Amino acid sequence: MAVVTMSNRQRVLELIGETFKSKGVPFDEVAELIDKHLDLVLAQHENASEEQQANLVIQSVAQWAAQHPVVASIADDTNAKTRILFLGNSLTFENNVPRILHLLLENAAQKGDIEPGFKIAMVIQAGLTLEQHWKYEVAANVLKQAGPWDIVVLQEQSARPVEEPAKMFDYGQEFAGLIRSAGAKPVIFGTWAMSNQPGDQTQISWACSTLANLANADLIPVGDCWTKAKQIAPSINLYKDLIHPSPEGSYLAACCFYAVLTGKSPVGLSAQIPDAEEKLTITLNASVASQLQSIAADLLRKTDND
């Protein structure tokens, strides 16, 4: 009978880490996840070689993770003053919008603009809708058990506002009720249209605004800011592909969150974003960052005029 040695177990851990790193999906408690899948693979394939078992574990974990939300901690300061949980999919974790927001918050705290101390996490998986997040219950468990939270951001799957807004409204309101019962405030992530379907932005903005009203939630109109950026700074490419954000697109999103959540302008703050390995940071072109910061700062002027 083939067995899994400690060295093989470590290699499996490394390979799984590489697999998920390549997908841009960080997740916690990897070792525990591997153990569960190792048990299953060994029970079903006890006569396979170590290499075959390792490959089967990777496939099993990858298949599981492709269908389940993943929890990732961005910051967990002791005695955090600001505690934010993001629920979403690749529009949130591409370039790690919560991490960019954390960099902005840290920079503002260093300047004395806001109080230091932040707890930020996200529950994410590629392509998930709010309906799927609700049914998987991972987000609900993190909301209830890993808090307390001050703000919980709801990001709907990109097609839902256009194709099935009623379901977006239903599950958004379900989450909003759960969020308030946990003592937190719901916030709606207003997303953007596909690059080849800009006309959908009107419907998307309407759906996000409607959900915010129905759920008595704040709205971060990132999609509207993207529209403005494309009008006044068309040379800045906000898209990585048809729907996912470029680093500049994610930076603009984070600046919008900073402006609305703090009530302060992001102008003059850090232009840093996480690098591809999520270990270091890279700095955006200063002129580009300044333009994106100013666009987000206009949200404050709009709020003042409302």
pLDDT band, very low/low/confident/very high, at 293 (cuts 50, 70, 90): very high
- Please give the share of the chain, as a percent, with pLDDT higher than 90: 67
Amino acid symbol at 55: N
Radius of gyration of the chain (CA): 20
Residue 251 Rama label (left phi>0; alpha psi -120 to 50; beta): alpha
Contact indicator for 278, 96 with CB cutoff of 8 Å:
yes
CA separation for the pair 62, 132 (Å, rounded): 18
For 110-167, write each residue's pLDDT tens digit.
999 999 999 999 999 888 999 999 999 999 999 999 999 999 999 999 999 999 999 9
- Which pLDDT does position 27 carry in this prediction? 47
Looking at the whole model, is its pTM more than 0.85?
A: no
